[in-house]
Chain A
Amino acid sequence: MHTLRIIAAIFEKDLRVEWRHRETLASMCVFGLLVIFLFNFAFEPAGEESLRLLPGLLWIAFAFAGVLGFNRSFASERENAALEGMRLAPVDAGAIYIGKMLANLFFMAIAEAVMVFAASLWYNFSFIPALGWFTLSTFFCTLGYVAVGTIFAAIAANTRMREVMLPVLQFPVAIPIFIAGVEASTGALKGDPPGDYASWIKLAAGFSVIFVVLSYLLFEFVLEE
């Protein structure tokens, strides 16, 4: 019960800090929108071509927007060594990880919703018919990506070139998630039977569970001096 309260406190604190300066969400959304707009400008896709382009494009935008968000999520913890302040409390390090991860997931979900909405307008593409399966696949892939991103952001936060280190560390590990995200989104948006791409969603779900559990268990060592 205490652990749940700790997770809730950290989640609430991150939302409050973000609400005060709005740097994380703003930078994630602006960057994502820019990617989507530039691709639209470069390729001017129409009809079938939009469908071919959109899943990959969206996951490029999600991936880079995520890096910005994960880096920012530990910036407020570095200032005044606030993360050390948390370590001084009788708190399970895993609870700190889950609280931070849930906050990152929340910010990613908002940024993704904004990007998908913008993509539907600029690419003249309706996500409504495939919304259920597209949302489900995106949720599991995002969860896996955030699980990886949060722990690597915590590792990179203690390095000198943290902004560079984070993508270098996390992108290779997150490749299965990106592939699953693109494949499952393509299937869902094309209107294929769910059975055709369910294996990608299962892969993403499995990856997410493994990384959340591993990170929960290993976060204590990440926080060590």
Chain B
Amino acid sequence: MPFDTPRAKPELELRDVSKQFGDLQALRGVCLRVAPGDSILLYGPNGAGKTTLLRVLSTLARPSEGKVLLNGEDVHSNPAAAKSAIGFMTHTTFLYGELTVRENLEFAGKLFGLRAMAERLSNAMETFHLHERAETMVRELSRGYQQRVSLARAFLHDPQFLLLDEPFTGLDAGSTESLQTLLRGLGSQGKSLIFSTHDFEQGKAIARRLVALEGGRVLYDGPMEAAPLAALKAGERSHGAGARS
């Protein structure tokens, strides 16, 4: 059951989206509307379709059926506009190991055609506490630092929609806290956040809306406070037990 936001004109929308990889049906008829200021937690067990959903939203993957719309227009008919509006971070960092942190961000900035590059880089590195490692090659960084650079890359072009797949993976306590603060503040800037995490409590502290997935289907889409949390968590536990047995 898709959740209707109070806003009449959603910005980003998945309309009956299915995605198939060979025999595997990763998404099944997913409908989702993302309005300005939305903060959405994608929640579900492994293989629920969270990453695929984010990849479809990011334009990296084309849906097998259905459409992804930005302001009512198919994102694949005007991909440049959609890509400029979206910042995406996932398990793979999109970084070059042989380039330094600064060079990686500079390269991303050039791809997005950013102006005032020095200021943007400085802001991104300050936000994610990267200044002291700016001249370090990415392959020499720890997983946590690489995650921060990847996040900085996603935020660099100041996108309207932030799609973050497990953004807290590998981060230390301090970085996790500052990222939580940053993500909580996005709504007040009118930016939309869609993220996934396996730590439900962490996600709950940031998101105002929950989209629960299982087997590529949306089980619940609605306000966080109205979510049937006990049932969803029980579902995930039984899925995990099923996967282990």
Chain B nearest CB, measured from A31 CB (Å): 22
Interface pair B94/A82, CB less than 8 Å apart: yes
CB distance from A115 to the nearest CB of B (A): 26
Q: How many residues of A contact B (CB 8 A)?
A: 24
Whether A38 sits at the interface, judged by CB under 8 Å, is no
Q: Chain B contacts of A161 at CB under 8 A?
A: none
Among candidates B61, B92, B98, B108, residue contacting A21 with C-beta atoms closer than 8 Å: B98
Q: Which one, A2, A20, A81, A88, contacts B83 given CB within 8 A?
A: A88
The digit string for B96-108, where 1 denotes a CB below 8 A from any CB of A, is 1111000100011
Q: How far is the CA of A104 from the CA of B70 in the complex (A)?
A: 37
Alpha-carbon gap, A89 to B87, bound state (A): 9
Q: Contact flags (1/0) for B54-90 with A, using CB distance below 8 Å?
A: 0000111110000000000000000111011010100
From 110 to 147 in chain A, residues with beta carbon under 8 angstroms from any chain B beta carbon are: none
Contact at A90–B94, with CB atoms within 8 Å? no
Contact partner of B80 (CB less than 8 A), chosen from A20, A21, A90, is A90
B99 touching A17, Cβ below 8 Å: yes
Q: Check B180 for interface membership: any CB of A closer than 8 A.
A: no
**Shortest distance between the CB of B137 and any CB in chain A (Å):** 7
List 23 contacting pairs A-B, 8 Å CB cutoff, sorted by A. A2-B113, A6-B111, A9-B110, A13-B103, A16-B103, A17-B96, A17-B98, A21-B98, A76-B97, A76-B98, A80-B94, A82-B94, A84-B94, A85-B94, A85-B108, A86-B111, A88-B60, A88-B94, A89-B111, A89-B112, A90-B80, A224-B62, A225-B62
Kindly state whether residue A79 has any CB partner on chain B within 8 Å. yes
Q: Which of B61, B84, B107 contacts A225 (CB 8 A)?
A: B61
The distance in angstroms between the C-alpha atoms of A86 and B110, with both chains bound, is 10
Q: CB within 8 A of A16: which of B93, B97, B99?
A: B99
When the two chains form their complex, are residues A89 and B83 in contact, meaning their CB atoms are under 8 A apart?
A: yes
